[in-house]
Structure 1
Amino acid sequence: MTSIQVADQTFVAAPGAAVAEILTGENNWRRWWPDLTLAVREDRADKGIRWSVTGALSGTMEVWLEPALDGVILHYFLHAEPKAPIRDLSAANRARRVAGKDMSFEIKSRLEAGRPAGVAPAHTAPPAR
């Protein structure tokens, strides 16, 4: 079992391909996880991406995109060991959980911008008459 264990999910009212496009941007990775170096292990396109993680942590990370309703559920997983000893493992796990949530909420807000709550996303709305 690894010391850092994060599993989280967020619904995004957008197609998996749109989410994947943001996820593949390496500049985003450096902003979301500045102390980590990510190497793509598997690019699953509109199904997500898997990375090997080095830097402050050593392990694996994944974003899995599961089609649901009129969008996807963005599942975020991180399983890693710290490179240096950590005094408060609970706080370290929380910090990594918050970083993952920041990433998923940024993607959600970018792709759902301007969409009123309860209104179908543009990619699923019926054509205008």
Structure 2
Amino acid sequence: MSSIEVADQTFVAAPGTAVAEILSGTNNWRRWWPDLDLEVREDRADKGIRWTVTGALTGTMEVWLEPALDGVILHYFLHAEPKAPTRNPAAANRARRVAGKTMSFEIKARLEAGRAAGVAPAHTAPR
């Protein structure tokens, strides 16, 4: 078991391909996780991405995209050890959970922008 264990999920009313496009942007990675160096272990396209993590942490990270309703559930996982020992493991875990939520909420906000609550996303609207 790793010192840093994060598992979270967020529903995004958008297709997995749209979420994957944002996730594949390496410029986003540095903004979301500025102290981590990520190397793609497996790019699963509209199913997500897996990374090897180095830098402030050593371990693995994954975003798995599970089709659900009219979008996807964005599952975020991080399993890692801090490079330097931490005095407050709970605070370290919380900081990594917040970073994951920041990423998932940014993706959600970008892809759902302009959609009124209760209205089907544009990608599911009848043509």
TM category (shorter chain) comes to over 0.9
- Structure 1 residues 12-55: Cα deviation after superposition (integer angstroms, max 9, x where no partner): 00000000000000000000000000000000000000000000
Counterpart of 1:76 in structure 2: which amino acid? Y
Q: Show the counterpart of 1:120.
A: 120
Task: Show structure 1 runs of 4+ deviating over 4 A.
Answer: none
Asked if residue 108 in structure 1 is aligned to residue 108 in structure 2, the reply is yes
Task: For 2:54 and 2:118, locate their aligned partners in 1 and report how far apart those are by CA, in whole Å.
Answer: 40
Asked if residue 40 in structure 1 is aligned to residue 47 in structure 2, the reply is no
SS in 1 for 2:64: strand
Asked if residue 2 in structure 1 is aligned to residue 2 in structure 2, the reply is yes
User: Could you list the runs of 5+ residues in structure 2 that have no partner in the other structure?
Assistant: none
Alpha-carbon shift at residue 5 of structure 1 (Å): 0.1
Asked if residue 11 in structure 1 is aligned to residue 11 in structure 2, the reply is yes
Alpha-carbon shift at residue 106 of structure 1 (Å): 0.0
Alpha-carbon shift at residue 126 of structure 1 (Å): 1.2
Task: For 1:64 and 1:120, locate their aligned partners in 2 and report how far apart those are by CA, in whole Å.
Answer: 23
SS in 2 for 1:123: helix
1:31-110 mapped onto 2 (5 Å cutoff): 31-110=31-110
Counterpart of 2:78 in structure 1: which amino acid? L
| TM-score (normalised: structure 2) | 1.00
User: Could you list the runs of 5+ residues in structure 1 that have no partner in the other structure?
Assistant: none
Counterpart of 1:3 in structure 2: which amino acid? S
Q: Show the counterpart of 2:29.
A: 29
| TM-score (normalised: structure 1) | 0.98
Counterpart of 1:109 in structure 2: which amino acid? A
Task: For 1:100 and 1:120, locate their aligned partners in 2 and report how far apart those are by CA, in whole Å.
Answer: 26
SS in 1 for 2:41: strand
Aligned length: 127
Counterpart of 1:85 in structure 2: which amino acid? P
Task: For 2:117 and 2:33, locate their aligned partners in 1 and report how far apart those are by CA, in whole Å.
Answer: 30
Counterpart of 1:110 in structure 2: which amino acid? R
